[in-house]
Amino acid sequence: MVNRLLLFRLFIILALLHLEGCATTALPDAGLIKRYDYGYTTPKLTFALHSHLIVVDLRPEIISGHKAPGYVGEAFNVFGAPIDVTNADGCQAMHTTHTTERCLPFHESVYNAILRPGGGISDSYRLFVIINQWKTGIRNGLALNYDLAAIVEDKDRNVVAKTHIMGSDESIDTSGIGAIHFRNHNQAAEEMSKIVSGALARKLEILLGGDIAQALRNHE
């Protein structure tokens, strides 16, 4: 009976430590980081763009309502159970009866990343970026599943360029983060955010290079 009581108390203590976002021991490979800030994303694009950009999130789990628009992948709690990872870009505290945070949906972070370099294109052209999949997961390391498409339409709504890239379980190096202690959790979360944002930037550079960039440069 005593042993069961001690085990129950230990379970409660571990759960509370997890809720407070800290741990008394090192945690491998950033597995407990539950929020990635995609606001660090700045792709190096070869064209300038101000307007007529449309980013659409068609991920099945978002369309179905099973996941929130800020969902970007999975991590694990201290007991090894999967938990959602959400976008921490642009978070603002909402002072209501129960204070919560409002953060940008993932597709808005993608939109902002593409617009950030600045510039301009012809008013008659439109660039569509479609997110069919974007999801990271941590097992032995950080892996990425992605499916992205881009389309350029002219003034008559004819498709003048399109691209499509996808990948499954692509490995992303997180070795620079190392083990996480409660004292450096925020620092590790920032480093993780830079890593996943860098991965997104590289995918956008590929997606919006080649024919897409040429079509947009021709009509700047």
pLDDT in tens, 128-169: 999 999 999 886 678 899 999 999 998 888 999 999 999 998
CA–CA separation, 171 and 176 (whole Å): 14
pLDDT single digits (tens) 35-90: 899 998 889 888 877 558 999 999 999 999 999 999 999 987 767 778 899 998 88
Q: How many CB atoms lie within 10 A of CB 118?
A: 8
pLDDT score recorded for residue 220: 61
DSSP string, 21-42: T--SS-BGGGTT--EE-GGG--
Residue 181 has pLDDT above 60, yes or no: no
43 burial level (CB within 10 Å; 0-12, 13-18, 19+): buried
For the chain, how many structural domains are there in total? 1
Is the pTM higher than 0.85? The answer reads no
Q: By residue range, what is the domain housing residue 104?
A: 2-217
Buried-state track 124-140, b at ≥16 Cβ within 10 A, e below 16: ebbbbbbbebbbbbbee
CA–CA separation, 60 and 71 (whole Å): 12
Confidence tier at 177 by pLDDT (50, 70, 90):
low
pLDDT single digits (tens) 91-139: 875 544 445 567 899 999 999 998 866 555 556 788 999 999 999 988 6
Decide: 91 and 101 in contact? Cβ < 8 Å: yes
